[in-house]
């Protein structure tokens, strides 16, 4: 089947990479797994063998129908022909876990293992980090540059890094050469692990979270400017007042946004909020 460029389809063909993904996921026979964009189903087949139940969500109708026929006699796998960004994820999970008994009213245990469409990487990650029932962990194939940005440390931080690390712990597991795909994309890839997901703050206090990200976006508004200048200009605050607030938490006026940790941003947001 010819890959569709409009859907960002680049099919993984490297069996060694597939094995490394499965090993990284550390699947058990009773695990519930969500796969996004199964494509030709090469990873799906591996997940099918190692997990208890697989939900494979595919936007392309032709590919989804092909997989439905392939697994029509199995109760271990369900192919959902839908846009991952438009489905009712909590409802789908609740339906599945009524049979699996791996959940409570507060928590549903599942993993996300996928070679996700690169053009919607950030929205997909955001969806699972902010949903009512987040996964226990995610093993994701993403563009190399995006993987490095997500897993960045203090000194190289970005809005994307802060956005992910606010909720969870990202880790870059290994790189994948672009020749592992068909058709060969223009960029290399990487597999990351996102674990220790805690999004209770967005459920319990949405206004606090909204304020936090407003402050972060203001801080990153101009890359070449100092944190003080960005915050005072974007938030329309007195520059000296901002300087004094930052000094209280040990941040010097000439520091830049990429030099701060998530904890630093939390302290800044709290001070400015007050």
Cβ(141)–Cβ(190) below 8 Å: yes
Domain end call among 140, 167, 199: 199
Residues 107 and 179 in one domain: yes
Q: How many CB atoms lie within 10 A of CB 253?
A: 15
Report the distance separating Cα 32 and Cα 51, nearest Å.
7
pLDDT on residue 8: 54
Q: Are residues 41 and 120 in the same domain?
A: yes
Among residues 173, 199, 225, the one where a domain terminates is: 199
Q: How far apart are the first and last CA of the chain?
A: 57
Mean pLDDT by 10 residues, the chain (274 residues): 55 92 96 94 95 95 94 94 94 74 66 93 95 95 97 96 97 96 90 93 82 96 92 93 92 92 95 80
Range of the domain at 36: 5-199
pTM listed for this prediction: 0.91
State how far Cα 173 lies from the chain centre: 14
Residues 76 and 154 in one domain: yes
- The secondary element (H helix, E strand) that includes residue 227 is helix 227-235
Neighbours of 265 (CB within 10 A): 20
Assigned token pair, 199: 């999004």
- The answer on 215 and 193 residing in a single domain is no
Looking at the structure of the chain, the number of domains it has is 2
CA distance 272 to 212: 10
């Amino acid at each position: 089947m010819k890959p569709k460029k409009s859907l960002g389809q680049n099919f993984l063909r490297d069996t060694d990479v597939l094995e490394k993904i499965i090993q990284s996921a550390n699947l058990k026979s009773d695990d519930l797994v969500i796969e996004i964009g199964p494509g030709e189903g090469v990873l799906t087949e591996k997940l099918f063998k190692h997990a208890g139940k697989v939900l494979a969500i595919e936007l392309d109708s032709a590919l989804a129908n092909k997989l439905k026929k392939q697994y029509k006699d199995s109760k271990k796998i369900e192919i959902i022909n839908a846009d991952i960004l438009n489905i009712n994820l909590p409802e789908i999970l609740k339906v599945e876990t009524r049979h699996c008994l791996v959940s409570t009213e507060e928590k549903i245990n599942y993993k996300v293992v996928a070679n996700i469409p690169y053009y919607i990487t950030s929205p997909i990650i955001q969806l699972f980090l902010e949903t009512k029932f987040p996964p226990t962990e995610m093993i994701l194939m993403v563009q190399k540059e995006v993987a490095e940005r997500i897993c960045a440390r203090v000194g190289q931080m970005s809005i994307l890094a802060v956005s992910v690390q606010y909720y969870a712990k990202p880790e870059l597991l290994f790189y994948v050469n672009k020749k592992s795909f068909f058709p060969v994309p223009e960029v290399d890839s990487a597999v990351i692990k996102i674990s220790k997901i805690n999004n209770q703050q967005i459920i319990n206090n949405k206004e606090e979270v909204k304020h936090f990200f407003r402050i972060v976006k203001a801080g990153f508004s101009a890359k070449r400017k100092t944190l003080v200048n960005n915050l005072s200009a974007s938030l329309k605050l007195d520059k000296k007042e901002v300087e004094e607030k930052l000094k209280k938490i040990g941040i010097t006026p000439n520091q830049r946004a990429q030099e701060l940790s998530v904890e630093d941003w939390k302290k800044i947001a709290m001070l400015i909020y007050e």
